[in-house]
Structure 1
Amino acid sequence: MNMSGPQWRRSALALPLLIGALALSGCENGRRPVPAAKKSPEVTVELTQAQREAERLQQCQKELDALQGIDAAGYRKHKQEFDRLMSGAAQYAALRTQVNGETQETVDALYRYKVSRLCADVNQAVMTGLADRGERLK
């Protein structure tokens, strides 16, 4: 799947929502919805975790954009990986409610790991690229 420009942006913006939903839904198994007026501190913590994950992903997207100007080949590699991850996450989101809770927890964790790993790799590529540039200035 090859996404570019606005299409990639729309997909990239959808992933924080998916990750947030995955983070929140992992705690729903076997529980009844809590009325809005009686939310427990646990629900607040879960929302905060989802917000943090969304913010981390937005930072990852910014770093991926920055990588394009630092290392074009690295950018293409990471963007392809990101696009594959987005495609898989979208397919999983469509099927997620059809599988049991244990499977949901496992696959949710897998996608959180893959996102974390990709973002760490992008961050490392940006840092290495900027450091290399700095070294060449000497």
Structure 2
Amino acid sequence: MSMLSIFQVSSSAISAQSQRLNVVASNLANADAVAGPDGQAYKARQVMFQSIPMGSDATVGVQVSDIVQSNEPSRKNHQPSHPSADAQGMVTYSNVNPIEEMVNMISASRAYQNNVEVMNTAKTLLLKTLQMGQ
């Protein structure tokens, strides 16, 4: 693996984790959303990753292959006085689990930070290699 491949692989991972963080932020923003007029509540979304070849030297990067909706059922609470309550007094909320989303956010943030550190280390090694030739 060449040194330039390290930058390609890490940048692909940074891009993928950035998309993951955006999806987590969207999920958290809609954690307490109620169903709209159509009766459908916000569904949590999850990012699916896929490995991709990065060049002729058998390096593999990552990309977002899809963003899928969760199949978990929506939360229902009995609140007859709520304006969005149905005939039985039930209010449908999104199926976002804020605790799981916070764990996802921390995981994505750490992965992002780790890949930035890989790039910084590779940059430092390249600079030291150039200084050896002086």
Q: Tell me whether the two structures share a fold, i.e. TM-score over 0.5.
A: no
Which structure has the highest helix share of the two?
1
TM-score, normalised by the number of residues in structure 2? 0.40
TM-score, normalised by the number of residues in structure 1? 0.39
The structure with more radius of gyration: 2
Which structure has the highest strand share of the two?
2
